[in-house]
Amino acid sequence: MLRRALTAVAVLSLAGAVHAQETEEEKGPWAGKLSLGYLSTAGNTETTSYNTSFEVGYTKDSWLHQLTGAATGADDQEVTTAESYQLGWRTAYDFTERDFVFGTVDWRKDRFAGVIEQMAYALNYGRRVIDTPKHVLALGIGAGYRESDRADGTSTDSAIGRGSLLYNWNWSETAGFEQGVIVESGSDNTYIESVSAIRTQLIGGFNLVLSYTIKNNSDVPPDTEKRDTRTAISIEYAFE
């Protein structure tokens, strides 16, 4: 599945790459984030957990190309209790000040989930319903295709409908709240991911981030939880 993701990423980025080659002397701005959180306890119990993520974006005229990734894990008494990875690509084109179209490729792997691995492709229409310096609300709707490997050893393929929400509330120049939601629904399963985060600047490009993540699969094998949640505190470095 990962090979298919990399192939799809190349296809999505082709249009933007061609456009950039036409004006090689002009370089669009880069921006990105890198975060890392780690916790270790010792004594009566020995546990460790980590969460790391990154985001790199390239903007050129009306185009935006964005690569994101994340990894989380946890050990309890030297036994792995959580392990998941995500990789995503998004190419968007603004055709008005508020309206845009975008393609997405998302690869997810979770060792302990009812749905161990998913690969989803979608084409979407989006609109920034609110776009002010303090508040930004963007909604998206689209359709695509998804492949899933389940914990019971079966695999499913299905067409999907996709919805997304992104809300940013900038409390000040150094602090704010972010809420992101993705819903992918097909005949085999409905996947929902919600990420809520509070971010505040520490010094320079370094931020402190408190986040709460919910992942839910509607159809999982017996004796498997449908919902996973994670609370994380991370140090983030942002650049632009």
190-234 pLDDT, tens digit per residue, is: 999 999 999 999 999 999 999 999 999 998 888 888 999 999 999
pLDDT at position 112, please?
A: 86
Given a cut of 90, whether residue 50 has pLDDT beyond it is: yes
Query: How open is the CA angle 75-112-160, to the nearest 5 degrees?
Result: 140
pLDDT at position 18, please?
A: 44
- Here the contacts of 224-233 (C-beta below 8 Å, separation 24 or greater) are 224/113, 224/114, 224/151, 225/114, 226/114, 228/110, 228/112, 228/113, 230/51, 230/72, 232/37, 232/51, 232/72, 233/37, 233/208, 233/209
Percentage of the chain beyond pLDDT 70 is 88
Given a cut of 70, whether residue 123 has pLDDT beyond it is: yes
In this prediction the pTM is 0.84
C-beta of residue 56 within 8 angstroms of C-beta of residue 32? yes
10-48 pLDDT, tens per residue? 444 454 444 444 443 454 489 999 999 998 877 766 889
pLDDT at position 22, please?
A: 41
Q: Confidence class of residue 3 from pLDDT cuts 50, 70 and 90?
A: low
pLDDT at position 44, please?
A: 67
**From CA 135, how far away is CA 177, in angstroms rounded?**
10
pLDDT at position 9, please?
A: 46
